Amino acid sequence: MQSTVRVAVDAMGGDNAPSEIVKGAVEAVNECPEITVHLVGQLTAVQEELKKYTYDQNRIKVVAASEVITNEEAPVNAIRRKKDSSIVVALNLVKNGEADAFVSAGSTGAVLVGAQLIAGRIKGVERPPLAPLLPTMNGVSLLVDCGANVDARASHLVQFAKMGSIYMEHVVGIKNPRVAIVNIGAEEEKGNLLVKETFPLLKNCDEINFIGSIEAREIPNGAADVIVCEAFVGNVILKLYEGLASALMKKIKAGLTSTTISTIGAALVKPALKKTLKDFDMSSYGGAPLLGLNGLVVKSHGSSNALEIKNSIIQCISFKENDINTKIKEFIQKEN
Residue 249: pLDDT above 90? no
Residue 120, CA atoms < 13 Å, CB-side half-sphere: 8
CB 180 within 8 A of CB 214: yes
- CA torsion sign for 287, 290, 296, 299 is negative
pTM: 0.89
pLDDT of residue 158: 96
pLDDT of residue 149: 87
Contacts of 88 (CB under 8 A, 6+ apart): 65, 69, 79, 82, 114, 118
Q: Say which amino acid occupies 79.
A: I
Residue 165: pLDDT above 70? yes
CB 198 within 8 A of CB 158: yes
Residue 143: pLDDT above 50? yes
Kind of pairing between the strands at 139-144 and 226-228: parallel
pLDDT of residue 331: 83
Tens of pLDDT, residues 173-194: 999 999 999 999 988 889 999 9
Q: What angle do CA 262, 265, 269 make, to 5 degrees?
A: 130
Out of 89-98, 245-254, 255-264, 284-293, the most confident range is 89-98
Contacts of 135 (CB under 8 A, 6+ apart): 245, 279, 280, 281, 282, 284, 285
Contacts of 204 (CB under 8 A, 6+ apart): none
Tens of pLDDT, residues 62-93: 999 999 999 999 999 999 999 999 999 999 99
Tens of pLDDT, residues 119-131: 999 999 999 999 9
pLDDT of residue 330: 86
Average pLDDT of the residues in 230-234: 96
Q: How far is CA 130 from CA 167, 215, 269, 274, in A?
A: 12, 20, 37, 29
CB 139 within 8 A of CB 222: yes
- CA torsion sign for 56, 86, 41, 238 is negative
pLDDT of residue 245: 79
CB 120 within 8 A of CB 102: no
Residue 265: pLDDT above 80? no
Query: Given strand 288-289, what is the order of strands in its sheet?
Result: 60-64, 35-41, 5-10, 101-104, 296-299, 288-289
Contacts of 89 (CB under 8 A, 6+ apart): 40, 63, 64, 65
CB 306 within 8 A of CB 23: yes
pLDDT of residue 46: 97
Instruction: Name all contacts of 77-84 with Cβ < 8 Å and 24+ positions apart.
Output: 78/107, 78/110, 79/110, 79/113, 79/114, 79/117, 79/118
Average pLDDT of the residues in 135-156: 92
Tens of pLDDT, residues 16-64: 999 999 999 999 999 999 999 999 999 999 999 999 999 999 999 999 9
